[in-house]
Amino acid sequence: MSTRFENRVAVVTGGVSGIGAKITERLVAEGARVVVADINEELVASARDTFGDAVTGVRADVTKEEDVQAVVDAAVDAHGTLDAMFNVAGGSRAGGLLDLSAEDWDFTVRLNLYSAFYGTRSAARQFIADGKPGSIVTIASLNSLVPMFFGAGYTASKAGAVMLVKQAALELAEHRIRVNAVSPGLVSTPMTGGLREIPGVDDAYMDRIPMKRAAEPAEIAAAALFLASDDASYISGDNLVVDGAWATSGYPDLRPFLG
């Protein structure tokens, strides 16, 4: 295992489960000290037991700017600096354009887009205050590029998150801050597990994914860490799609299974 992040400090929102947990694991293995944030108090409380002494857990609602700022402050208070920000927390409430409630739209947009905005801005302000370079990586989705049925709020907010990355990369380049996104396709996580257990759904996905499998969370973590590392020192404003070539074939129509 490399030591690309030795003596560096990172914040990972949603860093105690799914893709976020694998990012945290990999950062620790590569020498980083990590502050993880999650809304689940039990998972946050056990973060050090789960990941080791290099990890500190902070309970935060990433849809609230003050909570996200508190996580960045916690990293600086504990370690004196910040080097990398990973905006991972996200999710959705399903619904199509004609029937999604305004409440569910707001929930989804705040969780995916507002949280990325708050994380990006808080980290960037810290990098600038410290007078040092920094890296920000946002976990978006293949749905930032490809629409899906029942995903009106999710697709729109993830597309917004990718454009936010590009906007931030443009504005922050003069401060030596790089900003990138990773857009995963189907990933084997608890979030997708229930959907894939519905008879026929997994086959519908595999019909469209040329590599005929879901990604493992560790594969998405590897892409995220690459973008945050010095190996990607001239990459900014990019959206790295990690989808087993799924974007070449389009999204399956899940209406027969979910409608």
Give the residue numbers annotated as catalytic, written as ranges: 154
Kind plus residue range of the DSSP H or E element containing 35: strand 33-38
Amino acid at 236: S
Q: Which helix (H) or strand (E) holds 36?
A: strand 33-38
Neighbouring C-beta atoms of residue 211, cutoff 10 Å: 12
What is the b/e burial string over 31-62, where b = at least 16 CB atoms within 10 angstroms of the residue's CB?
A: ebbbbbbbbeeebbeebeeebeebbbbbbbeb
Burial of 3 (0-12, 13-18, 19+ CB in 10 A): exposed
d(CA 21, CA 36): 9
Name the packing angle between helices 152-172 and 115-130 (round to 10°): 20
Helices 102-109, 152-172: crossing angle, 10 deg rounding: 30
| Rg, Å, the chain Cα set | 18
**Under a CB-based contact definition with an 8 Å cutoff, are residues 54 and 77 in contact?**
no
